[in-house]
């Protein structure tokens, strides 16, 4: 793993640990604030609860990020949708917040508490941090 990726991973995991510890009094973070957004193209309303979709924002490369909850709570009901410009999106899901994972060469961490900015990742809105894996 290249040094920069390893450093970014360590910084995001540190933020993840802080969010996890603070998450004992979860406020449902991104789901409790902001107006609902349209379900992004390529995602099915059969799978995701359209009323839970929140636009988190876009990063410096134009990728858009959404928070959403699955309809069928199969143990992974909180999700981050990653939508690259001109491409089909993908979702990273977890049983509850925080959600962490990788898709489209982007490492995401969606927290239930506001995240702190750091030099190894880009902060999108109050609750999301992203970092390129390539």
Give the tens place of pLDDT for each residue, 8-36. Answer: 444 455 544 444 444 444 457 898 877 78
User: Would you place residue 72 in the very low, low, confident or very high pLDDT band (cuts 50, 70, 90)?
Assistant: confident
Q: Does pLDDT of 6 surpass 70?
A: no
Q: Which two tokens stand for residue 58?
A: 């876009």
Would you place residue 48 in the very low, low, confident or very high pLDDT band (cuts 50, 70, 90)? very high
> What band does 4 get if pLDDT is binned at 50, 70 and 90?
low
Asked if residue 105 lies in contact with residue 78, where contact means CB atoms within 8 angstroms, the answer is no
Burial of 130: CB neighbours in 10 Å, binned 0-12, 13-18, 19+? buried
- pLDDT greater at residue 74 or residue 52: 52
pTM, two decimals, is: 0.78
φ/ψ of residue 81, rounded to 5: -100, 130
6, 9, 13, 16: CA torsion to nearest 10: 170
Q: pLDDT at residue 84 above 50? A: yes
Q: Is 24 left (phi over 0), alpha (psi -120 to 50) or beta?
A: alpha
């Amino acid at each position: 793993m290249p040094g920069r990726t390893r450093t970014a991973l360590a910084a995001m995991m540190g933020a993840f640990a802080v969010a996890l510890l603070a998450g004992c009094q979860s406020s449902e973070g991104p789901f409790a604030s902001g107006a609902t957004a349209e379900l992004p193209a390529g995602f099915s309303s059969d799978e995701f609860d359209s009323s839970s979709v929140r636009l988190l924002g876009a990063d410096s490369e134009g990728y858009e990020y959404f928070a959403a909850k699955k309809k069928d709570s199969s143990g992974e009901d909180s999700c981050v949708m990653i939508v690259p410009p001109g491409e089909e999106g993908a979702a990273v899901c977890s049983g509850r917040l925080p959600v962490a994972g990788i898709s489209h060469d982007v490492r995401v961490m969606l927290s239930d508490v506001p995240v702190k900015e750091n030099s190894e990742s880009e902060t999108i809105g109050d609750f999301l941090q992203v970092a390129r894996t390539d």
